[in-house]
A and B are shown apart, each in its own frame.
Chain A
Amino acid sequence: MSHVVSPIRETLVGGGRSYHDVTQDICKQVEGEPTKEWKIAFGVSCLIFAYGAYCLGYTWWQGIGVWGLNKTVGWAWDITNFVWWVGIGHAGTLISAVLLLFRQKWRTSINRAAEAMTIFAVLCAASFILAHMGRPWLAHWALPLPNTFGSLWVNFNSPLVWDVFAISTYLSVSLVFWYLGLVPDLATIRDRAQSKASKFWYGFFSMGWTGSAKTWARYEYVSLILAGISTPLVLSVHTIVSMDFATSVIPGWHTTIFPPYFVAGAIFSGFAMVQTLLLVTRVVFKLEDYITMEHIEMMNIIITVTGSIVGIAYLTEFFIAWYSGVEYESYCFINRAFGPYWWAYWMMMTCNVISPQLFWFKNIRTNILVSFILSVVVNVGMWFERFVIIVSSLHRDYIPSSWAMFSPTMYDIGDYIFSFGLFFTLFFLFAKFLPVINMAEVKSVMKGVSSNYPFKKNAEGGKDKVAH
């Protein structure tokens, strides 16, 4: 009787790193002088941020008339960008929460950066919530705050109010989750810190972490609980965002398929964004052993799966538009594909449906350059998806007399650039001052069963030291 030997898993961390090596590799970035690459990258983001801030400031000062919107197209780049950024944020939560619940150990080296990305993306999205308002200084009116106007309350029927709740919940939960995960690593840095300032600040933020077994146990419980809370958010946030459109009467918006379609799209774009960022980070910070080919491949597979879901959603919409027999709905979809905004539609189709299918080929999905390019392409496509949904539905709705075109102005573009500036500035600050990889969790997956196998491929994996 021979027994079945299951194939051996690749180690999750390559390069035969020891625990100490991990600490060393990750903390190096935080403790050392900023590298030249970081300085350049950060400087460029600051410039972008400054230009964007000027555009946004001008928009706020003059009014959103500086955008290209009109009486027919009341939302365009503003809400496109909002949905796009919120969607991007989803990957972080999915990776850290859902994959944690499903015990996917490979997530450990990417979840920190992904969560940070989530938070920054949600902040970018929030900036568009503010910016798109006619009177942003009254934004707090959208919150159900007690007030002196009598019993004046928010409109609980309005999907925008749901949005406010969804996004603020999402931001706070993500922030807590992310911060909690940071605490053990902050303590590590605190313990290694040389300067007084870093000792103080990392000490302050690590909240007296002792590393005792009890602390670790509590840490694990809280992580699981927060993962449990975050998981429904992965589904709910974009579902609610999709309801901004789905509950309306506008042909092309009024669609029941939107919630699942938006969630899939969000994960799709989020993974693409994580991919983009990690591919850069692993090179810049020399983390190739932590973010391995396996990670890249896994991410690419998820991108293909979600991209295909999105593709099916696109086709379903078309089918239903025809099958429903609704004149306006049918027209809307024909107009999307063949009307004045056909280029946006086909851009979306190419980027989102066709390009991820290339990942069926192993040598494509394991090619770093192609993966990088396609991850950007996917996000371009997802931006166009939102643009197509918003603008091509609005610009020709029921009454032909009001049909109009939208074209962006430099302030539409500038305010979008602002969000990139904000995102990358925050991301580079994060990358410099906080550990981009969760050291504690990575260490927990280094010693697997497979590493004890004598006949595994990476023989050098066996020479790890226990030393810290």
Chain B
Amino acid sequence: MENTTKRYWRGIEELKNDAEFVKYADREFGDAPSADEKEGAIFDGTGSHRRDFLKVLGFGMSAVALAACEAPVKNTIPYLNKPEDVEPTIANWYASTFVDGGEYASVLVKTREGRPIKIEGNKASSVSQGTLSGRAQASVLSLYDNEKLKGPQKGGQAAEWATIDKEIVAGLAQVASSGGQIRIVTNSILSPSTKKVLGDFIAKYPTTKVVTYDANSAAGLVAANGVLPSFDFSKAKTIVSLGADFLGSWIAPTEFAAQWAKTRRVSSAKDGNKEMSRHYQFETIMSNTGANADYRSTYKPSQEGLVAAALYNAVAAKVGATALSVAGVKVEYLEKAAADLVATKGASIIVSGSNDPAVQSIVAATNALVGAYGTTIDLGTPVNYRQGSDADMNAFISEAKAGQIAAVIFYNANPVYNHPRGAELAEALPKIGLTIATNEKADETASLVKYNTPDSHYLESWNDAEPKKGFYSLTQPTISTIFKTRQAQSSFLTWAGAASADYAAYLQASWTGILGGKVQWSQVLHDGVYETGASVSAATPAVNLADAAAVVAKTYKASSEALELAIYEKVGMGTGSQANNPWLQELPEPISKACWTNYVAVSQKTAADLKLEQDKEVELTVAGKSIKLPVLVQPGQANGTVAVSIGYGRTKAGKSADGVGANAYPFVTTVNGTLAFFNTAEVSVKATGEEVKIAQTQTHNTVMAREAVVQETVLSEYKKNVEAGRFKPEILTAEGKKTATDISLWNGHKYNNHAWGMVIDLNTCTGCSACVVSCSAENNVPVVGRQEVINRREMHWIRIDRYYSSDASVEDLQGLEVASENPEVVFQPMLCQHCNNAPCETVCPVLATTHSTEGLNQMTYNRCIGTRYCANNCPYKVRRFNWFRYYQTDEFDFHFNNDLGRMVLNPDVTVRSRGVMEKCSMCVQRIQAGKLEAKKEKRRPKDGEIQVACAQSCPTNAITFGDMNDPASEISQLLAAEKVGRAFGVIEEINVKPSISYLVKVRNKEREAKKAEGEAKEHA
């Protein structure tokens, strides 16, 4: 067929189809490019084109628009050379040792991307047994304290290490050559290698003497026993404490709490243990330990020695020993305690918090009578926590005042603040030619010295510790030094002119010597502990009882009408060495629930007698010295006494500590050669008329007879019926009476995989609050400060509710608000109960709080619009609202407000913004991590592998966490044993079906006649 299609040409070029045309045939304008279209011409200004113009315009506009929405600059810097052990998002754990003064714990340090963020107990240690106090938990935040010295200083001015070293060496040489006295002032040193280093130093400068003292001295105990003995409460059936707060602050409280709890754990299983130790507490203040005692009564500090003697006499009468000839003193339950002590001979222990050698001698003699030595008390394996000598320290201060000291080195000691004669020392310091401090801060003492050679934090250091004879624990750095600090040991080596100042090498050399090789050294460093075993001895200390009795008779009085001052240590704050740690400042004291200050505590009766009111400031004057503090009415304290805690009133510790509370150390006196933590000189209190609110996280003290909240019983009844003390409300329905929890509107949830839950044993929870700090560290819980605590807005995800008993009858609602004069106390950890019929979940308008398939009540922060309806509808009041922005806000300058402080944040947990609700997540990040780990290994998570922060940190294992769907898990077995027994849900009759069960508190005491009578009437 003929092709009739016509062809048209655009031009003669197309017809000719020449090469030049074909090359540009697809161009809109088929010409060869002009010079200004050449690449780059547009940008070098040589020319432009319509399309390019539009392109540039578009680019320009979008660039300008993008530049306008300025995004905050966040630098993510990748590793150029990745460190071998650091995997982003994977935590590394290092074994180390927490030592602060006389406190010790073997720890595991969690580091993320090279930053230590969490401290946990090292269970490999048989000394600390994996327990940590709140202070040890909080110590990781002290690492990131921005107010530490950032490098060496001379006269308050930054200087170079080399210059300072040269001047110090020259200074020391001059002092040594002129025979001047050199002193190293330190708190107890647990490290054998450090002692060796000091030995080297002394060898170089022979006029050096090491003066060891402790702010919370136990010199009396050491003097009476020769050494500081090992105590083992776990072997005791009868525990008697005379003012020793061994669960809260005395010697090694978390260690003792773990031992004590072993004797307090009962089981409702058929063949379960139904025996408990019986714990008597005689004391002045209401201590954490007293709150946990079965029987408790009070005495005044001036009676202390006579109480010890009375106990000795009562025991002696029963075992046929001669009585001491001292004045008798009447203390309730003392006879009963003596009877029990004798009855359980060989399994009895008496401890005393007194620092008077005479009193401790009588206590030692009593212990000997009841066969404590070799069983519950061991002199063969002494501990090194408190080696301080009050006599040495007193002598040093007197010498300094007399101008007899030429050089002094304060090795991490702050006696100007924490010694009663601190003010005298401060005045004497200018008389000393060469003054050096290795303190991490320019604190009360270090700010007065010439040379500051700051020691590194323990998390930046190498060291070892021998907490107990034959038990070692190693410290290794978990981060390189943040500031230009240097380990004090290296400083001492430098000044002693050692060939090498490398303390790490020094330590390694001495340890490879002991262990026999580098491989062993690596292993021990990995494990963190090295133990050669205890050498238990049944030896009893040689006590001159007659002398002690004579001293006691002279020092103490059987009764006194005068007002007396008791000085004690708070469970959280301790001696105040970490006072600038906001976690500790905000940690409520277990008994008073007060934080951010110390206070003058008085009993209800004394408050009425002296017309003192809570939150009213008073001026407390003791022997001419006075401080101003608010009053706290403390049920259970001995009448006629006032009590003030040490650890507050810092002036140069930092912004969180300075000016908080008042310093009580100056009130400590010296009695019989040792520090006495009471004062019986003229004590007076005078109201100043000012109102100073005490920040308290709990202001209602009693449980209002609400049996659904706290349930308790006594051992004798529990033995008869494992459900004694249980409160089981029934509801009358059309089908008759039904258990409240059997009636539900809800269908419930199905948990096909896991069902996470928790059991909390009220019998072993001592209220120590270590879990609160642990939770704050794990979950980035903000610190809100004193005023916000007063406004009742603390953010803690877990709190320890503390209730006092009341004498009022159940009907007397006004009376029930008032605690008894000597109340029974119960502690109840309270956190999100992860209800299965959660009232919070139904009311959230935006589904920000929902139920997981594993039984967790989850909070989705970025969905929350902050109506707070969930918090209102929470029957347990555990939800916490971000009233303000707590990070990067000057008003909340705790640790969220500076880059260094924020290094402690757990990157696995969101920092919550203003206006959202938060609460316990049951450490969901840990659950997820554990599940992931198991999944990688293609297995189910093992029981115990996943631990929530609070359960992990509980010294007494009062909290059991686990999968309730796994019948073999500890929690399932515990619940199975306690189902018919002690397990109950708090206010379970409202049927929110909490995932957390509590176990009834059992007290090992006889039910008092009055109470039993009342209950009988009630049931009749």
Q: Which positions in A face B, CB cutoff 8 Å?
A: 62-65, 68-72, 74-75, 132-136, 138-139, 141-142, 152-155, 157-161, 164, 244, 247-250, 327, 331, 334-335, 394, 396-404
Contact across chains for A401 and B802 when beta carbons are under 8 A apart: yes
For residue B803, CB closer than 8 A to chain A, the reply is: yes
Contact of B864 with A154 in the complex, beta carbons under 8 Å: no
CB of B801 within 8 A of CB of A401, answer: yes
Asked if A70 contacts B846 (CB within 8 A), the reply is no
Q: How far is the CA of A158 from the CA of B914 in the complex (A)?
A: 23
**Given A65-B793, A71-B871; A398-B915 close (CB under 8 Å):** no
Contacting pair A135 B877 (CB below 8 A): no
Of A327, A397, A399, the residue contacting B830 (CB under 8 A) is A399
- A residues in contact with B642, CB < 8 Å: none
Min CB–CB distance B986 → chain A (angstroms): 7
* A158-B842, A401-B803 known; A63+B885 contact, CB < 8 A: yes
- Return chain A residues, CB-CB under 8 Å to B844: 155, 158, 160
Chain A residues closer than 8 Å to B828, beta-carbon distance: 401
Which of B30-38, B401-409, B510-518, B700-708 interfaces with chain A? B700-708
Nearest A-chain residue to B709, judged by Cβ: A399
Contact check, B847 vs A71: say whether CB atoms are below 8 A apart: no
Within 8 A of A (CB), among B670-727: 698-700, 702-704, 706, 708-709
Task: Give chain A residues whose Cβ lies under 8 Å from the Cβ of B880.
Answer: 71
B843 touches A159 (CB 8 A): yes
Asked whether, in the complex, the Cβ of B709 is within 8 Å of the Cβ of A398, the reply is yes
Q: Mark B788-801, 1 if CB is under 8 A from A, else 0.
A: 10011110000101
Point out the residues of chain A lying under 8 angstroms from B866, CB to CB.
64, 133-135
Whether A158 and B869, one on each chain, are in contact in the complex, defined by CB atoms closer than 8 angstroms, is yes
B847 touches A152 (CB 8 A): yes
Contact of B872 with A403 in the complex, beta carbons under 8 Å = no
Which B residues touch A244, using CB under 8 A? 869
12 CB < 8 A contacts A-B? A62-B884, A69-B881, A133-B915, A134-B881, A134-B915, A134-B916, A141-B846, A157-B842, A158-B842, A247-B843, A248-B872, A401-B801
The answer, yes or no, to whether B867 is at the interface (CB within 8 Å) is yes
Contact B883 A249 (CB under 8 A): no
Chain A residues in 8 Å Cβ range of B935: none
Bound CA span A175–B393, Å:
84
Residue B875 interfacial (CB < 8 Å): yes
Cα A134 to Cα B886 in complex, Å, equals 14
Report A196 CB to chain B, min CB distance, Å. 42
Partner of A134, one of B704, B799, B847, B864: B864
The docked-state distance in angstroms from the alpha carbon of A396 to that of B990 is 16
* CB-defined contacts of B990 to chain A, threshold 8 Å: 249, 398
Q: Chain B, 851-889, contact with A by CB distance < 8 Å: what is the 0/1 string?
A: 000000000000111111101110111011111110000
Can you add 4 more A-B contacts, CB < 8 Å, to A63-B882, A65-B884, A161-B845?
A135-B915, A155-B842, A335-B813, A399-B876
User: What residues on B are CB-neighbors of A335 within 8 Å?
Assistant: 813
Instruction: Report chain A residues within 8 Å CB of B839.
Output: 248-249
Query: Which residues on B sit within 8 Å (CB–CB) of A132?
Result: 867-868
Interface centre among A133, A139, A334 (most CB of B within 10 A): A133
Q: Which residues of B contact A135 (CB under 8 A)?
A: 864-866, 913-916
Distance, CA A159 to CA B872, complexed state (A): 13
How far is B915's CA from A136's CA once the two chains are assembled, in angstroms?
9
A407, closest chain B residue (CB): B791
CB-CB contacts below 8 Å: B795-815 with A: 799, 801-803, 813
Cα of A212 to Cα of B706 in the assembled complex, Å: 73
B884 contacts A142, CB within 8 Å? no
Measured CB to CB, the closest approach of chain B to A253, in angstroms, equals 8
- Check: B959 CB closer than 8 A to any chain A CB: no
Distance of B775 from chain A, by nearest CB (Å) = 16
Query: Is A250 within 8 A of B873, CB to CB?
Result: yes
What residues of A have a CB within 8 angstroms of the CB of B792 in the complex? 70-72, 404
> Do residues A63 and B876 form an inter-chain contact, with CB atoms below 8 A?
no
A63 to B881, CA, bound (A): 11
The 8 closest A-B pairs by CB, nearest first: A134-B866, A134-B915, A65-B883, A70-B792, A401-B801, A74-B868, A402-B877, A160-B845
Asked whether A153 lies within 8 Å of B882 as measured between CB atoms, the reply is: no
Give the contacting residue for B865; candidates A68, A142, A334; CB below 8 A: A142
B992 interface residue (CB < 8 Å to A): yes
In this complex, what residue of B is CB-closest to A409? B791
| Residue B143 CB within 8 A of the other chain | no
A133-B915, A152-B847, A398-B876 given; A74·B813 CB < 8 A: no
- The reply to whether A71 and B845 form a contact with Cβ atoms under 8 Å apart is no
Question: Are B865 and A133 closer than 8 Å at their CB atoms?
Answer: yes
Q: Which of B867, B873, B917 has the most CB of A within 10 A?
A: B867
Q: Is B987 an interface residue (CB 8 A)?
A: yes
- For B913, the chain A residues whose CB sits under 8 A away are 135
CA distance in complex: A224, B885 (Å): 51
Q: In the bound complex, do residue A154 and residue B709 qualify as a contact, i.e. CB atoms below 8 Å apart?
A: no
Q: How many angstroms between the C-alpha atoms of A142 and B41 in the bound complex?
A: 55
Chain B positions within 8 Å of A327 at CB level? 706, 708
Complex CA distance for A164 and B839, rounded to whole angstroms: 20
A401 to B882: give the CA distance in the assembly, Å. Answer: 21
Query: With a CB–CB cut-off of 8 A, which chain A residues contact B803?
Result: 400-401
Are the C-beta atoms of B703 and A74 separated by less than 8 Å? no
Q: Which residue of chain A lies nearest to B705 when distances are taken between CB atoms in the complex?
A: A327
CA A157 – CA B838 in complex, angstroms? 12
Chain A residues with CB below 8 A from B879, complex form: 71
Query: Across the interface, which residues of A come within 8 angstroms of B873, CB to CB?
Result: 248-250
Closest to B817 in A: A400
Q: How close is A30's CB to chain B, nearest CB, in angstroms? A: 41
Chain A residues, CB < 8 A from B708: 327
- The listed residue with most B CB atoms (<10 A of its CB), out of A74, A159, A164, is A74
Contact residues in A for B883 (Cβ distance below 8 Å): 63-65, 69
Report Cα–Cα, A135/B865, bound state, in Å. Answer: 5
Q: Which residue of A lies closest to B707 (CB)?
A: A327
- Chain B residues with Cβ under 8 A from A248's Cβ? 839, 843, 872-873
Q: Which residues of A contact B801 (CB under 8 A)?
A: 399, 401
Given known A63-B915, A400-B700, contact A71–B881 (CB-CB < 8 A): yes
Closest chain-B Cβ to A427's Cβ sits at a distance in Å of: 29
Task: Return chain A residues, CB-CB under 8 Å to B700.
Answer: 396, 400-403
Determine whether the beta carbon of A155 is less than 8 Å from that of B884: no
Bound together, the chains give a CA A404 to CA B699 distance in angstroms of: 7
Contacts of A65 in B (CB 8 A): 788, 793, 883-884
**Chain B residues within an 8 Å CB radius of A142:** 845-846, 865
Docked Cα-Cα span, A289 to B788, in Å, equals 57
A79 CB, nearest partner CB in chain B, Å:
9
Chain A residues whose CB sits within 8 angstroms of the CB of B871 once the complex forms: 71, 74
**Is the pair A397, B706 in contact by a Cβ cutoff of 8 Å?**
no
In the assembled complex, which residues on chain A have CB atoms less than 8 Å from the CB atom of B791? 68, 70
A152–B865 Cα distance when bound, in Å, is 14
Instruction: Please name all residues of chain A whose beta carbon is closer than 8 Å to the beta carbon of B992 when the two chains form the complex.
Output: 249
CB pair B702 A400 closer than 8 Å: yes
Is A400 a contact of B703 with CB atoms below 8 Å?
yes
Which chain A positions have C-beta within 8 A of B863? 141, 152
The smallest beta-carbon distance between B265 and chain A, in angstroms, is 25
Given known A158-B842, A248-B839, A249-B992, contact A139–B709 (CB-CB < 8 A): no
Find the residue from A69, A153, A327, A400 having the highest chain B CB count within 10 A: A400
Considering the complex, give the chain B residue whose CB is closest to the CB of A160: B845
Expressed in whole angstroms, the Cα–Cα distance for A71 and B801 within the complex equals 15
Contact B867 A154 (CB under 8 A): no
Complex alpha-carbon distance, A139 and B867, angstroms: 10
A331 to B987, CA, bound (A): 15
Could you tell me if B813 and A154 are in contact, using CB atoms closer than 8 angstroms?
Answer: no
CA distance A142 to B848 in the complex (A): 11
Q: Which residues from chain A contact B843 at a C-beta distance below 8 Å?
A: 155, 157-160, 247-248
Q: How far is the CA of A331 from the CA of B992 in the complex (A)?
A: 20
Residues of A within 8 A of B869 (CB): 74-75, 158, 160, 244
In the complex, residue of chain B having the shortest beta-carbon distance to the beta carbon of A141: B846
B804 CB to nearest A CB, Å: 11
Rounded to whole angstroms, the CA-CA distance of A404 and B793 in the bound complex is: 10
